[in-house]
Amino acid sequence: MERQSAGRARARSWADGSWTDLRNLVGLAGVLALTPWGALAGEPVVIDGQVRVRTEIDAREFDAGVARRHFTDLRARLGARAALAENGHAYIQIQDSRRLGGSSAGGAFTSGSLANGANLDAHQAYVEVDRLFSSAWGLRAGRFEVNLGNERLLGAVGWSNVGRAWEGVHSFYLLQGGRIDGLWLKAAERNSADRNRDFDAFAANLTLKGPGIQVLAVIENDAKDAAQAGQPTQLDRITAAGYLKRDLAPFDLEGNLAFQFGTQEFAGAGAEEADISAFLIALEGGYKLGGASRIALGIDLASGDDEPGDDEIKTFDNLYYTGHKFRGAMDYFVPSRAPGLLDAMLRYSTQPTEGWTLKGDVHYFATVADYVDFEGKKTTSVGSEMDITASTTRVKGVTVDLGASLFFASESFAGQKDPELGQWAWASMTANF
């Protein structure tokens, strides 16, 4: 009996070891398939990735009674690009976004515990055909990022710990010295049984590289239902825009011009409809002082509405832009605001030594239309902001970025007498491979 038990134990041990070896071999085969060595099979796979850690010290509230916050965010991305029969490729990018010491959706803290954060997601996953009907026409379908122009209207928000990705179809046609892009973007699939309640966006973009011009049109159709009276329902909006970027050394110029028109319905007895009429003007002109130094003046003006709730919407909607790139680094004005916004800015950048870049921005903010403050007064007063950033690649394989910002708010914008100074600082390390 003892020899039989020992024999069974050895058999189980051998079986467990064999299964372990088999699993290891399967795992190794999977790793090999996701490396450039996969080219030996005739279909090369290229791996890319990013790990970014960013710490922030946040005192952006204007109330001394609100505690200063400290937190660190982690974003990890791993992508695989596989060639498909010399006429396209498939790309998958997996992403994990988390706050260090944070909790899962169920409320369990994930660091140092056995809780599963379940933060893993497919940030991008698409198939792209490079030559659809001709060598100039291509098509991408699935989930992907969209960046057009300087990202003032359509951008992926790289600063975000998640980033924006769309699901839909992206077709492109290559021109001599340019390209045409057409996009169908499914913003919301509501699967309504009685009528179409989806949110679809369509975009067409013409790029002419010679003059540095892009022309964009975005059509949005959102047929959602409102939860209560007064909330927006049916949206039919068109945004027509132009983008210019020219290098006229030692000068440079960058600008956006956009108009919005259409209709927006609102729920309630005898649902009302408002006409949309809004605009955006953004210009920045720079001058190279010599070496790697540059100084620039800019203005970003989005129209506003001093009578919200009437039958005309004059507030410009910023669409799906990379908000952190514009209107100051402290992100007070990322959402579209009813009274609109004027941002007048002064920028300076230089490279004080090899491998280091230093930038400083000063912003003056005011609303375009009047708003009513906490004392019941009409005003356009907002405040000013100062941003300083420093970046270096001197640490081999890693980019280090540092930033600090101050916001001097008016009493009307802060909503209180003698507001505190808004403060914010951050530091990040990013490894791309």
Query: In the numeric block, which tokens belong to residue 78?
Result: 């791993």
What are 114-155's pLDDT values in tens digits?
Answer: 888 888 999 999 999 998 888 899 999 999 999 999 999 999
Q: How far apart are CA 321 and CA 104, in angstroms?
A: 29
Beta strands in 108-223 (DSSP E): 120-129, 137-144, 166-175, 178-188, 199-208, 213-222
CA dist., res. 145 & res. 158, Å (int): 10
* The CATH fold of domain 47-432: Porin (2.40.160)
User: How much is the pLDDT for 270?
Assistant: 55
Consecutive H or E run containing 282: strand 273-290
Q: Which two tokens stand for residue 74?
A: 């982690």
- For the CA atoms of 183, 186, 187, 188, the dihedral, rounded to the nearest 10 degrees, stands at 170
CA distance 117 to 194: 38
38 φ, ψ to 5°? -60, -15
Measured CA to CA, the distance from residue 332 to residue 405 in angstroms comes to 12
Walk along the chain (433 residues) and give the pLDDT tens digit of each residue. Answer: 433 444 434 333 333 444 444 444 444 444 444 444 444 345 689 999 999 999 999 999 999 888 899 999 999 999 999 998 888 999 999 999 999 999 988 889 989 988 888 889 999 999 999 988 888 999 999 999 999 999 999 999 999 999 999 999 999 999 999 999 999 999 999 998 888 899 999 999 999 999 999 999 999 999 998 878 888 899 999 999 999 999 999 999 999 999 999 999 998 755 589 999 999 999 999 999 988 999 999 999 999 998 888 889 999 999 999 999 999 999 999 999 999 999 999 999 999 998 999 999 999 999 999 999 999 999 999 999 999 999 999 888 899 999 999 999 999 999 999 999 999 999 999 999 9
156 neighbors 93 (Cβ within 8 angstroms): no
pLDDT tens across 231-242, in order? 889 999 999 999
Chain center to CA of 274: 29
Bridge partners for 97 per DSSP:
75
Hunting for tokens 């924006």 — which residue is that?
A: 164
Residue type, 89: H
Tell me, what amino acid is at 48?
D
Element (H, E) at 52: strand 45-59
Helix (H, G, I), strand (E, B) or coil at 44: coil
Domain boundary assignment for the chain: 1-33, 47-432
**Residue-wise pLDDT tens digits, 271-326:** 589 999 999 999 999 999 988 999 999 999 999 998 888 889 999 999 999 999 99
User: 3-state DSSP helix/strand/coil percent for the chain, to nearest 5?
Assistant: 10, 55, 35
CA distance 22 to 29: 10
Distance separating alpha carbons of residues 412 and 87, to the nearest angstrom: 59
Among candidate residues 98, 89, 143, 142, the one with its CA nearest the CA of residue 117: 98
